[in-house]
Amino acid sequence: MGRMTSQNKLVFFFGGGIAEGDASMKDLLGGKGANLAEMTRIGIPVPAGFTICTEVCNEFFKSGGKHPENLQWRVEAALGQVEKAMEAKFGDTKKPLLLSVRSGARASMPGMMDTILNIGLNDQTIEGVIKKSGDPRFAYDCYRRFVQMYANVVLGVSGDHFENLIQQKKRSLDVELDTELAAEDWEELVGAFKAKVREITGKDFPDDPHQQLWGAIDAVFNSWMKPRAVTYRRLNDIPDDWGTAVNVQAMVFGNMGDDSATGVAFTRNPATGERHFYGEFLVNAQGEDVVAGIRTPQQVTLEGKRRIGSHLPSMEEIMPKLYNKMVKIYQKLEQHYRDMQDIEFTIQKGHLWILQTRSGKRTAKAALKIAVDMVMEGVISKEEAVQRVDARSLDQLLHPTLDPEAQQRAHVLATGLPASPGAGSGQVVFDADTAEAWNNEGKDVILVRDETCPEDIHGMHAAKAILTARGGMTSHAAVVARGMGRPCVCGCHDLEIDFAAQQMTVGGVTLAKGDWITLDGASGQVMEGQVATVDSTLSGDFAAFMQWTDEIRTMKIRTNADTPEDAVVARKFGAEGIGLCRTEHMFFEEDRIVAMREMILAENEQDRRQALAKILPIQRRDFEGIFRAMKGFPVTIRLLDPPLHEFIPHDLKGQQDVALSLGTPVSEVKRRVEELRESNPMLGHRGCRLGVTYPEIYEMQVRAIMEAACHLIKREHFTIVPEIMIPLVAHAKEMRVLKELCVATCEQVMAEQGVVVQFMVGTMIELPRAALIADQLAQEVDFFSFGTNDLTQTTLGISRDDSGSFLKEYVNKRLLEKDPFVSIDQEGVGQLVMMGVKKGRHVRANLKVGICGEHGGDPSSILFFQQAGLDYVSCSPYRVPVARLAAAQAALASAK
């Protein structure tokens, strides 16, 4: 194809059931041109036209604005075909053909390129339009619009001039609205417009239709190199040499009287996915009238009319013949494109024209239903079905969402980050204890905090939703809320909390404790009062669909779960194991935090061991519960990670409580808190550094894990392979020392219990250095798990807790494509992941490699992880279905 084709054939006609192009010729004809040709080819009544191919555009720029030799006669020839098909003549005064000229590149560049409508109008042809439409006002309105648009786009005259003239006209007539101007007024204005063009450009406005056409064609070519288009391409990696095609097409009008109409139809219901034809239209109207929503549209089908209880007649009733034609067309289009179609149509004087068809936008629910139905109907394969549903949208199906109607009326106070999906209403409280207390009284509460910390977990659990003023998409609040399936809005900078007064100010409104608000975790909106929500319901389709994703994907999906309850939820959503069980959350519950604090305040190893001995049986029970919930599936347990100061309160009151409960002087508690204070806790004394300095802590945890495994194997007879994971490793030697500690403890417990348990010891790869020396680490461990949250923080040097103040601006200014804590930074962090996998597997071919950061639930990250060759991803329980689908899509994409 390519060059040869273009030299032979610069112009591609379509119309009257015949087309010289087809859908496969997108590169040459652009998306729009190929689509018009394809529709024509399968017999859809499309207004006739022709496409000047993209290579003409390239030639145009190469030659400094000249057309290829043969272009002119080829355009003339094609124009002749259009005239024949439309039974009209370009420049004719009786049956004048009007044309539109539109760009159409290989990739969609919405709003970047120029369009000119109504080409062919002049003082002679206008007569034909008046005659045909029987409506001089309509005709002159078309005419003046054409002059305005053409002068602006082709001749470079600012639109302000014309607006001024219209204003003058209205002032002189003492009217306010365009609609109050009559045909004569518009006619006069056309003259005034043309005079203004002459005044500014020094030339007459071109009255010759052919001159108009060529001017429009060149204008579209030129718009390819306009700065906004160039910038758009640069930002979207679209090569300049793709060029644009130019589509010249006959105009049709839906506003030529009561036998004309315009509308939009869907081949299936885009909200529910149900298999019925659905559409709206307006009689004697233009497409923009349907969009504008000033007139209430009528339903296309009788069924649709009944459903919404409309009193307006349906198309099925008032235009039954055309309706029947529409039905045949929609069936043909859906069958041909094998997907639900969104169809734009216009009826001009009783003649039905299809202007555009494309895959219709749909809700998550509809996407799922349509995909499943189409498989059942034998239209598409399971693989195609899996690719038809946006993985991101699945979330909508799992959480309550705002009632769309109520949402429209809601008063939005502020918008924060959409940190955890779902919507929830409740009464505002400012601390976790109150949240829990009020929840126990049966109240719905929203927990509002500057930011949350592990001590708030019981309050988050008690809340319907969580709102914070600080913190990003992977802040504590966001991570925990997603894990619990609670809606959460984070980093809402417009929010100011006055804890002393127990009130908050947001969006200029001050709300007190007990006032109602509603959060939409999917959009980040904070709304005043109670906004109605709709519960999620999972259909049988969902189960079938998810089953297909499991058949297709090659990566395993695990979950991040810290409790037996979370583990059970995740299993229900299809998790195939736990990729990250954080042990620190376990320490915050009431029965153990005292012992934990005792341990931290201990002055020496012996006292520490005494305190740890109290925690041991509790941790063991936790692990038993988790192993039981995950029966038969692997469980990766991360040993203690956060710095110890997280476990001691930093306020005086809390410190006094601790002192009291431990029988220690407050001064001692304060001293220890001060001693543990860190400038950058993220880079501080945490992770395996705790294991190195306080080996007895890790020893206790490993013992708890292994005792739990031994007990279950002995008493409940199932297989458990605990995967013990060491966090924050940076050096091979620290890994070696801690592995030895793990192995020695495991062997001791097995000897004591008389049970042999298979176990694995692995490391998180969450520091750049760990990825850089992954070959050394692989010699020590059985598995890697990429902790991409911390790896992102350290690689980019961005604290997720502090990123709110600048990251949003970075994304707004397009310095960053996406929040790197939401979607993995493939160029930077991704390089380290690739390097880690490669170096690790080079040393140990059967190394098990997974990822347990928040990115494990992000579809585009999952695609990257598939390409990086990971064995599994792990995400929060409510993200598991998203991850399953995304992994299936990634497998299909990688297989290509």
Which parts of this chain interact with its own copies (CB under 8 A)? 678-685, 687, 689, 692-693, 728, 730-731, 733-734, 737, 766-769, 772-773, 790, 793-799, 801-802, 805-806, 809-810, 813-816, 825, 827-829, 831-832
660 phi/psi in degrees, rounded to 5:
-60, -50
- Least separation, in Å, of the C-beta of 705 and its own copies? 24
For residues 407 and 527, give the distance between their C-alpha atoms in angstroms, rounded to a whole number: 9
Burial of 685 (0-12, 13-18, 19+ CB in 10 A): middle
Residue 505 structure tokens: 């100010």
- Residue 852 bears catalytic tag: yes
- Closer to its own copies at the Cβ: 461 or 736? 736
581 flagged as catalytic: no
Work out how close the CB of 803 gets to its own copies at its nearest, in angstroms, rounded to a whole number.
Answer: 8
Nearer to its own copies, 633 or 821 (CB): 821
* Min CB(728)–its own copies separation in Å: 6
Percent helix, strand, coil in the chain, to 5, is 50, 15, 30
State the nearest-atom distance from the C-beta of 578 to its own copies, in Å.
24
Cα 761 off chain centre by? 37
Q: What is the DSSP string of 414-468?
A: EE-EEEE--EEEEEEESSHHHHHHHHHTT--EEEEESS--GGGHHHHHH-SEEEE
Nearer to its own copies, 718 or 806 (CB): 806
Give yes or no for a contact between 48 and 89, defined as CB atoms under 8 angstroms apart: no
CB nearer its own copies, residue 712 or residue 764:
764
472 versus 485: smaller Cβ distance to its own copies: 472
C-alpha 490/C-alpha 846 separation (Å) is 40
Apex CA 826: angle with CA 823 and CA 827, to 5°? 135
Between residues 289 and 817, which has the closer beta carbon with respect to its own copies? Answer: 817
What angle is formed at CA 879 by the lines to CA 876 and CA 884, rounded to 5 degrees? 120
Determine the residue type at 597.
R
Strands 533-534 and 525-528: unpaired
Query: Contact 150/116 with Cβ under 8 angstroms?
Result: yes
131 vs 770: CA distance, rounded Å:
79
- Is residue 726 within 8 A of residue 773, CB to CB? The reply is no
Q: Which one is catalytic: 67, 476, 645, 855?
A: 476
Phi-psi region of 539 (alpha: psi -120 to 50; beta: other; left: phi over 0): beta
> Which secondary-structure segment (H or E) carries 353?
strand 351-359
In 510-604, which ranges are continuous DSSP H helix? 540-552, 564-572, 590-601
CB of 282 to its own copies, least distance (A): 45
CB neighbour list of residue 391: distance below 8 Å, 6 or more residues apart: 859, 862, 882, 883, 885, 886, 889
CA distance 83 to 50: 11
CB-nearer residue toward its own copies: 17 or 507:
507
Query: In this complex, which beta carbon is closest to its own copies, that of residue 476 or of residue 884?
Result: 476
Least gap, CB of 702 to its own copies (angstroms): 19
**Residue 299 to residue 295: CA distance in whole angstroms:** 13
Query: Going by DSSP bridges, is the β-strand pair 503-506/509-512 parallel, antiparallel, or unpaired?
Result: antiparallel
Query: Closest approach of Cβ 690 to its own copies, in Å?
Result: 8
Instruction: Specify the residue, 8 or 812, whose C-beta has the smaller distance to its own copies.
Output: 812
* Closest approach of its own copies to the CB of residue 839, in Å: 11
3-state DSSP call for residue 184?
Answer: helix
| Minimum CB distance to its own copies smaller for 666 or for 737 | 737
Of 737, 843, 863, 854, the C-alpha closest to 787 is 854
Supply the minimum distance, in Å, between the C-beta of residue 451 and its own copies: 8
Residue type for position 443: K
| Residue 773 or 882 with smaller CB distance to its own copies | 773
d(CA 638, CA 828): 25
Residue 584, Cβ density class (10 Å: 0-12 exposed, 13-18 middle, ≥19 buried): middle
- 351 or 733: CB nearest its own copies: 733
As a whole number of angstroms, the distance between CA 831 and CA 829 comes to 5
Q: How far is the CB of 470 from its own copies (least distance, A)?
A: 9
Catalytic residue among 490, 710, 742, 852: 852
Strands 341-348 and 351-359 turn out to be antiparallel
Q: Name the pairing type of β-strands 556-560 and 423-429.
A: unpaired
Quote the least distance from Cβ 382 to its own copies, whole Å.
39
Q: Least distance in Å: CB of 765 to its own copies? A: 11
| Catalytic residue positions, numbered | 476, 852
